[in-house]
């Protein structure tokens, strides 16, 4: 089989959109500091403010609610660790299926952290959040509830509307990690109740190294990097106009480039193809609503690392359920929280599609997977 470069790991990072590339590269040659009042500075300021409008439009936010950061991880850390003192938070509630950025930020606050469970389908246990809120209302505690909108491993869409209704708008605060939902589901930040949301450029075809924290005015005390007062005092540090311009261009282009029904059709082809090759396949989160770009599955016995490396040698890039930053394949805390047996979780693979995915990619992946599975089955038979 010839080696083809097939990229099916959009949830890790999406390929740069041509529009984002043009805006980013175009801005790299401009010199100056966007805070300077001279012409050079004003040109960079214009790029940033245009991008603010573009990101706000995709998030359904007001432009003044958008604070540019260096990543979603930074935005998440600011929303959680930065808010506890100024907003008078007594304790934090997260779910067992959060991205490490959320768990680590909650941990460094030193406050009590309640980790609510997820069910067998990967959906956050809203009843556990309700019980924790009730206890807090009785004791007079102020909680920060911090959960994700779409799971990066399974694509499961979380019931943030229900959680938002429970948290309310008076005593407690609500933060949503909207990284995997941004561009795929309407966020409607301006009209919904959450106080803060985090988004990232590189998941929608923007450059790596820029994200945004969406903040309501009453949450503006949550400042982690005051510095020189940039971003209206909400995130200090000279802004990277080039990265921000790329982010804005991606936010503008993404709705045209990402055709959700086309992508859902491709993931359906993947699921059907996998079921034909391996009827014993288990698809995680199959019974609930998911973002239509992810298939997280396991073929019992075929280890994640073996399958991933076999596909990599054939030129097909996919992910295991979770990859730690060291590049090592680790057990998925999300699948564990869903009650998936460790032996099955050790076989988890995630295929995630996006704006550049084609049916040729799907065909190449399925051929590659059949090859890798065939070799595994042959080895197993020889060993039997
Ligand atoms: N939250 C979720 C759900 C993610 O999937 C990711 C990235 O994988 C992040 C947060 C972190 O985003 P960034 O790479 O911009 O720091």
User: Residues 292-307: pLDDT tens digits?
Assistant: 999 999 999 999 999 9
Average pLDDT score over the chain: 95
Query: How much is the average pLDDT of 38-51?
Result: 98
pLDDT, tens digit, 9 for 90 and up, residues 201-251: 999 999 999 999 999 988 888 888 889 999 998 999 999 999 999 999 999
Longest dimension (CA), the chain: 76
> Ligand 1 centre from 359 Cα, in Å?
27
The protein residue whose alpha carbon is closest to atom 12 in ligand 1 is 72
Query: How much is the average pLDDT of 356-360?
Result: 97
CB–CB of 276/269 below 8 Å? no
User: Ligand 1 pocket test: which of 73, 122, 319 has the largest number of ligand atoms within 8 Å of its C-beta?
Assistant: 73
Q: Quote the pLDDT of residue 327.
A: 58
Residues with CB under 6 A from ligand 1: 71-73, 99, 101, 148, 152, 177, 179-180, 200, 211
Q: Which atom of ligand 1 is nearest to the CA of 75?
A: 16
The protein residue whose alpha carbon is closest to atom 7 in ligand 1 is 12
Task: Report how far apart, in Å, the C-alpha atoms of 330 and of each of 86, 95, 150, 321 are.
Answer: 36, 19, 21, 9
Q: Quote the pLDDT of residue 328.
A: 59
DSSP reduced 3-state for 359 = helix
Query: How much is the average pLDDT of 329-353?
Result: 94
Q: Quote the pLDDT of residue 122.
A: 98
Beta pairing, strands 294-298 & 348-352: antiparallel
CB–CB of 90/143 below 8 Å? yes
Q: Label residue 326 by pLDDT band (50, 70, 90).
A: very low
What whole-number distance in Å separates Cα of residue 184 and Cα of residue 178? Answer: 10
What whole-number distance in Å separates Cα of residue 130 and Cα of residue 111? Answer: 19
CB–CB of 10/357 below 8 Å? yes
Evaluated on CA atoms 27, 32, 36, 41, the torsion sign reads: negative
The protein residue whose alpha carbon is closest to atom 6 in ligand 1 is 179
> Ligand 1 centre from 211 Cα, in Å?
9
What whole-number distance in Å separates Cα of residue 37 and Cα of residue 24? Answer: 22
Q: Which atom of ligand 1 is nearest to the CA of 13?
A: 8
What whole-number distance in Å separates Cα of residue 34 and Cα of residue 45? Answer: 5
What whole-number distance in Å separates Cα of residue 143 and Cα of residue 367? Answer: 50
Q: Quote the pLDDT of residue 102.
A: 98
Query: How much is the average pLDDT of 101-110?
Result: 98
- Looking at the DSSP bridge assignments, the partners of residue 95 are 116
User: Ligand 1 pocket test: which of 70, 78, 101 has the largest number of ligand atoms within 8 Å of its C-beta?
Assistant: 101
The radius of gyration of the chain's CA atoms, rounded to the nearest angstrom, is: 22
pLDDT, tens digit, 9 for 90 and up, residues 133-162: 999 999 999 999 999 999 999 999 999 999
Burial bucket for residue 37 (CB in 10 Å: 0-12, 13-18, 19+):
exposed
Report the residue count for the chain: 384
Q: Quote the pLDDT of residue 321.
A: 66
> Ligand 1 centre from 378 Cα, in Å?
38
**For 323, which DSSP code?**
B
User: Ligand 1 pocket test: which of 94, 152, 294, 333 has the largest number of ligand atoms within 8 Å of its C-beta?
Assistant: 152
CB–CB of 116/94 below 8 Å? yes
Task: Give the residue, 237 or 3, on which the prediction is more confident.
Answer: 237
The token pair at 347 is 């076989």
Q: Label residue 361 by pLDDT band (50, 70, 90).
A: very high
> Which residues are CB-neighbours of 216 under 8 A, at least 6 positions away?
65, 194, 195, 196
């Amino acid at each position: 089989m010839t080696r083809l470069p097939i990229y099916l790991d959009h949830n890790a990072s999406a390929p740069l959109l041509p529009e984002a590339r043009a805006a980013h590269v175009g801005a790299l040659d401009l010199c100056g500091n966007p805070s300077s009042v001279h012409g050079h500075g004003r040109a960079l300021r214009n790029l940033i403010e245009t991008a603010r409008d573009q990101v706000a439009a995709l998030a359904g936010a007001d432009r003044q609610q958008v604070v540019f950061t260096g990543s979603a991880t930074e935005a998440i850390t600011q929303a959680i660790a930065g808010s506890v003192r100024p907003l008078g938070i007594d304790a934090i509630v997260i779910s067992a299926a959060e991205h490490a950025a959320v768990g680590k930020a909650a941990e460094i606050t030193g406050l009590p952290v309640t980790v609510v469970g997820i069910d067998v389908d990967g959906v956050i246990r809203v009843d556990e959040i309700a019980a924790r809120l009730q206890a807090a209302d009785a004791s007079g505690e102020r909680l920060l509830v911090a959960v994700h909108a779409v799971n990066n491993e399974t694509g499961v869409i979380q019931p943030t509307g229900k959680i938002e209704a429970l948290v309310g708008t008076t005593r407690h605060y609500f933060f949503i990690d909207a990284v995997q939902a941004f561009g795929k589901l309407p966020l409607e930040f301006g009209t919904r109740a959450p106080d803060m949301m985090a988004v990232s450029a590189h998941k929608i075809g923007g450059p790596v190294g820029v994200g945004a924290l969406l903040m309501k005015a009453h949450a503006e005390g949550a400042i982690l990097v005051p510095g020189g007062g940039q971003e209206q005092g909400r995130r200090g540090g000279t802004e990277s106009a080039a990265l921000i311009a790329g982010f804005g261009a991606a936010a503008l282009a993404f709705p045209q480039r990402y055709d959700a029904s086309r992508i859902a059709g491709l993931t359906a082809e993947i699921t059907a193809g996998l079921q034909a090759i391996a009827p014993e396949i288990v698809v995680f989160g199959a019974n609930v609503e998911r973002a239509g770009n992810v298939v997280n599955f396991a073929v019992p016995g075929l280890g994640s690392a073996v399958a991933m490396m076999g596909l990599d040698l054939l030129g097909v890039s996919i992910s295991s359920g979770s990859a730690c930053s060291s590049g090592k394949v680790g057990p998925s805390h999300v699948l564990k929280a869903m009650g998936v047996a460790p032996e099955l979780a050790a076989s988890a693979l995630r295929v995630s599609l996006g704006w550049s995915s084609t049916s040729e990619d799907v065909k190449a992946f399925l051929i590659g997977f059949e090859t890798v599975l065939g070799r595994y089955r042959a080895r197993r038979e020889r060993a039997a």
